[in-house]
A and B are shown apart, each in its own frame.
Chain A
Amino acid sequence: MQQIMHILQTQGGDIVHAIGQHIGLSLISLLIAAVIAIPLAIVLMNHKRAANVMLQITSVLQTIPSLALLGILIPIVGIGTIPSIIALVIYAVMPIFQNTYSGLTTIDPNLEEAATAFGLSRRMKLFRIELPLALPMIISGIRIAMVMIIGTATLAALIGAGGLGTYILLGIETNNNALLIIGAVLSAILALVFGAAIDWLGRLSFKKVGIILATLVVLIGGFAGYRKLVKPETTITIAGKMGSEPEILINMYKDLIENDHPNMKVSTKANFGGTSFLYKALKSGSIDIYPEFTGTVLESLVTGQKSASHNPATTYRVAKQALKSQQQLAYLKPMKYQNGYDLAVTKQFAKKYNLKTVSDLVAVEDKIHAGFDPDFYQLKDGYPGLSKAYNLKFASAKTMEPSIRYKAIANGKVNLIDGYTTDPEIQEYHLVVLKDDKQFFPPYQGAPLMTEKLLTEHPELQTTLNKLAGKVSTTDMQKMNYRVTVKHEKAATVARDYLKSHGLLN
Chain B
Amino acid sequence: MIEFKNVSKRYSGNQAIDDLNLTIPTGDFFVLVGPSGSGKTTTLKMLNRLIAPTDGNIYFNDKRLIDYDLTQLRLQMGYVLQNIALFPNLTIQDNIAIQAESLGWSRKRRIERARTLLQQVDLDPDKYATRMPSELSGGEQQRVGIIRALAIKPKVVLMDEPFSALDPISRKQLQDLVLRLHHELDMTFVFVTHDMHEALRLGQHIAVMRLGHIQQVGTSAEIMQHPANDFVRGFFENEHASRMVTVQTLLDAGYGTPVTTPATLSATAPVRELAAALQTTSAVVVATPTGSQSLTTPDLLDYLATKEAD
**Contact residues of A with B, CB < 8 Å?**
108, 110-111, 113-121, 124, 128-129, 132-133, 206
Contact = CB atoms under 8 A, between A and B. Distances in A.
B70 A117 contact: no
B74 interface: yes
30 contacts: A108-B85, A110-B85, A111-B85, A111-B87, A113-B81, A114-B79, A114-B81, A114-B85, A116-B50, A116-B74, A117-B48, A117-B50, A117-B74, A117-B77, A117-B158, A118-B98, A119-B70, A119-B71, A119-B72, A119-B75, A119-B99, A120-B98, A121-B102, A124-B101, A124-B102, A128-B90, A128-B101, A129-B89, A133-B88, A133-B89
Contacts of B90: 128
Contacts of A110: 81, 83, 85
A391 to B, nearest CB: 84
Interface string B61-105: 000000000111111010101010101111000000011011000
Most chain A CB within a 10 A radius of its CB, from B71, B81, B98, B99:
B98
Contacts of B75: 118-119
Q: How many B residues are at the interface, by size bracket? A: 20 to 34
A111 B98 CA distance: 13
Contacts of A124: 101-102
Contacts of A119: 70-75, 99, 102
A118 B102 contact: yes
A118 B86 CA distance: 12
Contacts of A117: 48, 50, 74, 77, 79, 81, 158
Contacts of B102: 118-121, 124
A118 B85 contact: no
A204 to B, nearest CB: 13
Contact of A121 (B71, B73, B77): B71
A118 B89 contact: no
Nearest to B50: A117
Contacts of A121: 71, 102
Contacts of A114: 79, 81, 85, 87
Interface of B: 48, 50, 70-75, 77, 79, 81, 83, 85, 87-90, 98-99, 101-102, 158
A327 to B, nearest CB: 62
Contact of B74 (A108, A118, A133, A206): A118
A270 B77 CA distance: 70
Given A119-B71, A119-B74, A124-B101, A113 B85 contact: yes
A118 B81 contact: no
A62 to B, nearest CB: 30
Contacts of B50: 113, 116-117
Contacts of A129: 87, 89
A132 B89 contact: yes
Most chain B CB within a 10 A radius of its CB, from A119, A129, A206:
A119
Contacts of A133: 87-89
Contacts of B87: 111, 114-115, 128-129, 133
A134 to B, nearest CB: 10
Nearest to A123: B102
A119 B156 CA distance: 14
Contacts of B85: 108, 110-111, 113-114
A120 B99 CA distance: 7
In the A-B complex, the 6 residue pairs with the closest CB atoms: A119-B74, A117-B79, A110-B85, A132-B89, A114-B85, A119-B75
B79 to A, nearest CB: 4
B114 to A, nearest CB: 15
A484 to B, nearest CB: 57
Contacts of A132: 89
B277 to A, nearest CB: 46
A183 to B, nearest CB: 41
A173 B81 CA distance: 66
Contacts of B71: 119, 121
B5 to A, nearest CB: 23
A118 B83 contact: no
A126 to B, nearest CB: 13
Most chain B CB within a 10 A radius of its CB, from A108, A117, A128, A206:
A117
B92 to A, nearest CB: 15
A174 B102 CA distance: 64
A113 B81 CA distance: 9
A210 to B, nearest CB: 14
A152 B77 CA distance: 54
A32 B238 CA distance: 64
Given A111-B88, A133-B88, 15 more contacts: A108-B85, A113-B50, A113-B81, A117-B48, A117-B77, A118-B75, A118-B99, A118-B102, A119-B70, A119-B71, A119-B72, A128-B87, A128-B98, A132-B89, A133-B89
A485 B158 CA distance: 79
Contacts of A113: 50, 81, 85
A119 B154 CA distance: 12
